[in-house]
Amino acid sequence: MYSDKVMDHFSNPRNVGEVEGANAIGEVGNAKCGDIMKIFMKIEDDVIKDIKFKTFGCGAAIATSSMATELVKGKHIDEALDLTNKAVADALGGLPAVKMHCSVLAEEAIKEAICNYLREKGVDIEAYHKCDNCCRG
């Protein structure tokens, strides 16, 4: 039911763990639903220098965490905020319909982390141009 790419990212997930001295952390999901994703980033000059994740969840949740971190690593935070769950799923060669919610979690976790970073920096989230669809939490 999973593509080879999903299985590759599930069995050899990239960027697992915690970033030492992370200045952006985002956690979404809940244990009751069986999915929690936690993202750790080191952001310098609004560029994601390092990113790691920890995920409690199914194969798709782990694979999307891995792929999403790959997609935003080294990117400017504005680019990372543009990441969609569809882009993550596409990069994995597609996900089964029942697993699409896992890719939403990856997108949300990254946005959550960046928003926390911006808040910490004293940026007015409501006014931040890239935060139309996020940072409301």
Partner 1 sequence: MKKFIYLDNAATTNVAPEVFDKMLPWFVENYGNPSSIYSVGRDAKKAIENSRRQVAGAINCKPNEIYFTGSGTEADNWAVKGCALANSEKGRHIITTNIEHHAVMDTAHYLEKNGFDVTYVPVEENGIVKAEKVLAAVRDNTVLVSVMMANNEIGTIQPIKAIAEGLKGKKVLFHTDAVQAIGAIPVDVQELGVDLLTLSAHKFHGPKGTGVLFIKRGTKIDNLLHGGGQERTRRASTENTAGIVGLGTAIEKAVNEMPVGIKRIKSIRDEAVQRIMEEIPHVRYNGDAKNRLPGNANFAFRFIEGEGLLLMLDLNGIAASSGSACTSGSLDPSHVLLAIGLPHEIAHGSLRLSFGSESKIEDIDYVVDTLKKVVSRLREMSPLYEDYIKSKPSEV
The binding site for partner 1 (CB under 8 A) comprises 2, 7, 10-11, 13, 16-18, 27, 31-38, 54-62, 98-99
CB of 58 to partner 1, least distance (A): 4
- Measured from the CB atom, the residue of 18 and 90 that comes closer to partner 1 is 18
Contact 31, 57 (CB under 8 A): no
CB of 113 to partner 1, least distance (A): 13
Please indicate whether residue 134 is annotated as part of the active site. no
According to DSSP, the residues that pair with 42 across neighbouring strands are: 50
How is residue 102 written in tokens?
A: 């896992």
Residue 20, burial from CB neighbour count under 10 angstroms (0-12, 13-18, 19+): exposed
- Measured from the CB atom, the residue of 8 and 79 that comes closer to partner 1 is 8
102, 115, 131, 135: the active-site residue: 102
Looking up tokens 């990254």 gives 110
Contact 103, 2 (CB under 8 A): no
Residue 14, burial from CB neighbour count under 10 angstroms (0-12, 13-18, 19+): middle
- Measured from the CB atom, the residue of 106 and 131 that comes closer to partner 1 is 106
Please indicate whether residue 102 is annotated as part of the active site. yes
CB of 32 to partner 1, least distance (A): 4
Active site residues: 33, 102
